[in-house]
Structure formats: structure tokens, C-alpha cells
Amino acid sequence: GESVGLHLPTLSVQEGDNSIINCAYSNSASDYFIWYKQESGKGPQFIIDIRSNMDKRQGQRVTVLLNKTVKHLSLQIAATQPGDSAVYFCAESYSGNTPLVFGKGTRLSVIA
């Protein structure tokens, strides 16, 4: 499959453990944030999003935390599974009319 990033930061976790993937965003005016998962050979897959009027949002096995003070976003994955192995991207947007700006990505490797 395609290599989406040759020198991405990598997070290795044991199967069953919780994973935390961090992202520092660049624009203090950004009001919408989104996490994507990209598996080898596939396009990015939507995981969860959050708007700036919230600081936490939960989905199925995933939680996104937003800290606007320090411009930090994190994705928590509970009970990490081998199928969670992928590259994870955060992205930001503002004003509703600007394109998503993507971070460089983090590679999550799950050890069975």
C-alpha cells in the first residue's frame, strides 16, 4: 500500500491498552477540528469531530479533547485493537468557509 509518511512520529501500544494521540494546531481562530484515520492504501476515514464551543466529545471507543488555551487536541482510543493500526491525522478549520488544514499525522502501531 501507499506510504503516507516516511518519517511520522510513531506510537506503539499493546493490544487492549488505551492510546492517546496528540496534535498541536496552529490557528487560534480555528473553530472546528476533526480526526481522520488512514490505513495503508485507503483514503482518510472520518473518526470524530469537535467544535470550539466544546472541550470534550465521545464516540464509540474514542474521545476527543480540545484545549483551546494551549491549542491542543487529543484523540483517545479505548481498548486499542490491531485494526486501529493506521496513521491518524488531526485537521482544523475556521469560519466555516476555509479548507481543512491537516497535521502531519501520527502512526499508531498496535502490538498484539
What is the nearest approach in angstroms of another protein to the Cβ of residue 26?
13
**Rounded (5°) CA angle 5-33-83:** 50
Q: According to CB under 8 A, which one of 26, 43, 69, 70 is a site residue for another protein?
A: 43
97 is an interface residue for another protein by CB under 8 A? yes
Q: How far apart are CA 15 and CA 74, in angstroms?
A: 19
What is the DSSP pairing of strand 72-77 with strand 19-24?
A: antiparallel
CA distances from 57 to 34, 54, 61, 69, 84 (A): 11, 7, 11, 17, 19
Q: According to CB under 8 A, which one of 5, 61, 76, 78 is a site residue for another protein?
A: 5
Nearer to another protein, 69 or 97 (CB): 97
Query: In the stretch 56-85, what mask flags binding to another protein with x, by CB under 8 A?
Result: ------------------------------
102 is an interface residue for another protein by CB under 8 A? yes
